[in-house]
Amino acid sequence: MPTPRETILTALHARLSALPATALRGDVLPERVPAAGLLILRDGEPGEPQVTLSPLRYHYQHRAEIEAVVQGATRDAAFDTLCGSIGAAIAGDRTLGGLCDWVEAEAPRPVDLAVEGTASLKAAVIPVVLHYSTADPLG
């Protein structure tokens, strides 16, 4: 049986997979970026939990990351569209179907990356904070 953390990350990946961009989880950047863009969900860090004792609960603000990458002549517009679709997907259900208390994306810090022999990439890491509680720190 998967842990609450894994269940939440799987649900977030499923939500990203519904977008037109290709959504991967924990993979390396492929040689080619799909025309609609590429998203790579990184598990990130759960951080130090706050603990309540009665009942015993560990409250996390888990920081996952979404790497967003687009390529091509219209990369600025494509990147803006991709970030907007990520925001809309998260805002559509901030509890991921009741799996966590709240999901909040932070602003990306985009960079343009030159690639020799092809169109430049525009990429950013988008931090996503997952607020959830569990009865076990290994869960």
SS3 (DSSP) at 26:
coil
Cite the beta strand spans of the chain per DSSP E.
22-25, 38-45, 50-53, 56-71, 102-105, 111-113, 121-134
Average pLDDT, the chain: 94
The CATH number of 4-134 is 3.30.2000.10
- Going from N- to C-terminal start, the domains of the chain cover 4-134
Per-residue pLDDT reduced to its tens digit, 55-110: 999 999 999 999 999 998 899 999 999 999 999 999 999 999 999 999 999 999 89
pTM: 0.93
